[in-house]
Structure 1
Amino acid sequence: MQSVSLDCHQHMIEIQDLSFAYGEQKVISGLNYTVKERDFLGIIGSNGAGKTTLLKMIVGLLPPTGGDIKLFGESVRKFKDWERIGYVPQKNAFNPLFPATVREVVLSGLYNNKNLIRRVSKAQQRQCEDALEVMRIQDIAGKRVGQLSGGQQQRVFLARALINHPDLLILDEPTVGIDAETQSSFFELIFHMHAHHHMTFLMVSHDIDMIKNYLGHEPVQRSGKINFYCRHSHEAQDCVEENLQHTLV
C-alpha cells in the first residue's frame, strides 16, 4: 500500500502585486489574486477596466509593468508549457475572411514552438476529432470558418482551445455578438464542463446575470474597476474522496 497525497487546491495562477500601464495611463495597479485548481473565476468590469489586458498578461501576450504572474508555480516570463492553457480571445480578433476550414482551425491549436511544421500524427488527428465531437461541430468540419454563425464560430474556437486537453481554459467575452438563445446554451456547456471535468476556468464576461447565477451574487474580491466572482467545482469532502481513490497504486 502506498499513500499518495494530492493537493486539491494547487495554485494555477498567482497574480502578485501586478501593475500595467499604457504609457502614463495606469490600467492595473497592485493586483493580487490566486486562482486555485478547479476554480471558475468570472471577471466583470466596465470598459477600460483592464479585463482583457489582464488576460493578455496571463497568456504572455503583454509583459507586466510591475509585479509578476505565476502559472503552475512558474513566472510567466519563463513559462513554456503553453499547451496546458487553452485561450479563446475576443471574437473581434478573428478575421472572417481567413481561408481556413473548421478542422484546420481546430488543428492549429496543436501548433506551438515544439510543433510548427511537423505532419499531424494519427493521435493528433484523433484529438481533433474528439474536440470536434465534444463541441458538436463534426458535421461542419469541412466548412470555412467565415461562413459560420457567431455561435458556431465560438464552438470552433473553444474546440481549438480544448484540443490539447488543457488544465486551464481562459475565455475573453466568448458570447459577444451571439444571440441570446445561443449564449444560454454556450454558458450551459462551459458550466457543465467545469462541474464534470477536471478543468479550471477564467472568463471575462459582460453577462452579469449569468455570471452571478453560477458564481454567486457577490464578488469575492474587488480591485479598481474589476470584480472577481469565483466558484470551486467541488467541496473539501470531494478532495478526501479523491485522495482515498489514489491510496492504492
Structure 2
Amino acid sequence: MQKAQFACHAPIIELDDVSFAYEQRPVISNVSFAVQERDFVGVIGSNGAGKTTLLRMIVGLLKPTGGSIKLFGRPIGQFRDWERIGYVPQKNSFNPLFPATVREVVLSGLYNRNKLFKRVSKADAVKCDDALHAMDIEDLAEKRIGQLSGGQQQRAFLARALINNPALLILDEPTVGIDTETQEGFFHLIKHMHQHHNITFLMVSHDMEMIRSYLGQEPKRQAGKIDFYVKHSHDLEDCGETNLTHSLRGLRQAMESGKVGV
C-alpha cells in the first residue's frame, strides 16, 4: 500500500504582529512567527516573558489585543476543528477537586461539542486504554484525578491530549512535577512521535539542556524575551502510521522490554 504524502510545509500556526496586554500592561508585543507542519518548536523565556500567555492565545483562551492568529490556514475566530489540537496546560491551572476519574479525564480528549453527550464506543474505549498504557497509568484509571500525585496527574493530561491523534500538540511545561526517569521517557516518546508521525509540536520548557539536545544550540527566532528553537522532521516515509495511540502502546512495550532506550 502506498503511504500518504504530506506537504510538510503547510502553515499550522501563523502569528502576525501579535500583542497582548493585561489591564494595559504589555506582556507580549508585536510577535510574528510561523510554525510549519512537522516542526517541533521549543519556546524558552524567563518568568513573565509571556510564554503561557502566547499558548493561551493560540488555543483560543485569550484574545490578542493586537495582530492576528491563524490555525491551519484559518483565522482563529473562524477555526472550528479544535479536535485537531491537543493541549496540556500548566499543572497549576487544574482544580484538584474536579470530580472525575482518570479514565473520564482521558476520554474527554475525544469529545468536541457535538460529541459531548454521546455514549463511549468500543473504539473510544480502546483508544483510552492505549493512551493510559502509553503513559503507564492504566492502574490508576478508576481513581479520582484529584487523588493522584502531581506527576500522575500530568501523565493523565498527556494521555488526554494524545488520545485524539492530534495534528498539533501544545505543551506548557509538561514535565513539571514528574520524576527524572519519567521525564526522560516522555521526551523520548515525543521525539519518536515527531520523527515518525505527521504531528507538529509547540512546547514551553525551562529545561534548556533538553531543548538544545534535540532542537539545536541557537534559537531560530527571538521575539522580545521569548526564544523559539525549531527542528523540522522530514522523515516522510515514516508518516504512514495514523493510529497514534496504537503506536504509542507499541513504543511503551518496546521501552519496557529494553528494545528502545530513553
Query: What does 1:1-249 align with in structure 2 at a 5 Å threshold?
Result: 6-234=6-234, 238-239=235-236
Structure 2 SS opposite 1:42: strand
CA distance in 1, matches of 2:83, 2:98: 24
> What do residues 99-158 of structure 1 show as CA deviations (whole Å, max 9, x unaligned)?
321111101112322122222222222222222232232232122222323332222101
Identity of aligned pairs, percent? 68
> What do residues 31-68 of structure 1 show as CA deviations (whole Å, max 9, x unaligned)?
11110111110000011111000000000000111111
Structure 2 SS opposite 1:77: helix
* Structure 1: gaps spanning 5 or more residues: 244-249
Structure 1 SS opposite 2:114: coil
CA distance in 2, matches of 1:105, 1:74: 29
Say what the alpha-carbon RMSD is for the aligned residues.
Answer: 2.0
Structure 1 SS opposite 2:29: strand
Q: How far is 1:242 from its partner?
A: 7.9
Structure 2 SS opposite 1:67: strand
Instruction: Give the number of aligned pairs.
Output: 237
- 1:106 counterpart letter in structure 2: V
> What do residues 169-216 of structure 1 show as CA deviations (whole Å, max 9, x unaligned)?
000011122233332222222222222222111000111111111111
Structure 2 SS opposite 1:114: helix
TM-score by length of 1: 0.88
Structure 1 SS opposite 2:129: helix
Extract structure 1 runs of 4+ deviating beyond 6 A.
Answer: none
Match for residue 246 of structure 1? none
CA distance in 2, matches of 1:5, 1:88: 28
- 1:59 counterpart letter in structure 2: V
CA distance in 2, matches of 1:68, 1:163: 29
Q: How far is 1:6 from its partner?
A: 4.2
Q: How far is 1:165 from its partner?
A: 0.8
CA distance in 2, matches of 1:11, 1:41: 13
Indicate if the aligned counterparts of 2:19 and 2:30 stay in contact, CA closer than 8 A: yes
Shift in alpha-carbon separation, 1:177–1:132, aligned structure 2, 3 A: closer
CA distance in 1, matches of 2:98, 2:82: 24
* Structure 2: gaps spanning 5 or more residues: 240-262
Shift in alpha-carbon separation, 1:11–1:207, aligned structure 2, 3 A: same
TM-score by length of 2: 0.84
